[in-house]
Amino acid sequence: MADASKVFGIPIAPNQPSLLQLNHNLGLSVVEKILITWPPGCAGLVQCVVTYSGTPVYPNQTGQAFLFDDYTLEIDVTNQGNSGAWGVQVNNTDSIQHSLHVVYLFNYWVDPSDASTAQAVSI
């Protein structure tokens, strides 16, 4: 189970044919899962690519993107770094604005060499 989550609402202007990079810096962390929700009406006209440090990772093939309508995509994250440098590339080729919701489920990460300075947290 993840320590924390962060939610980003992403309004995407209409007639935005080029992929726009949006960075979501989570800080030092290990992401377990990413949820992306396309609301009804997107009709396959709103693309999304998940990036890590600006490089596409889901999907990881150039020119590919996720396109859905009224759907939540769950991505189990594996083999990624811990810098928290996540983001998305999005576009909208529809004539009206759409918004995606991106949720990152993650665990905070402390460098073992800095563990002696980590603050205790009471629960």
- Specify the fold of 4-110: Jelly Rolls (2.60.120)
pLDDT at 2: 81
Per-residue pLDDT of the chain (123 residues; tens, 9 = 90+): 788 999 999 999 999 888 899 999 999 999 999 999 999 999 999 999 999 999 999 999 988 999 999 999 999 999 999 999 999 999 999 999 999 999 999 999 876 666 555 555 555
Model pTM? Answer: 0.86
**Domain spans of the chain?**
4-110
pLDDT at 112: 62
pLDDT at 119: 59
Closest CA to 100 of 2, 25, 15, 22: 22
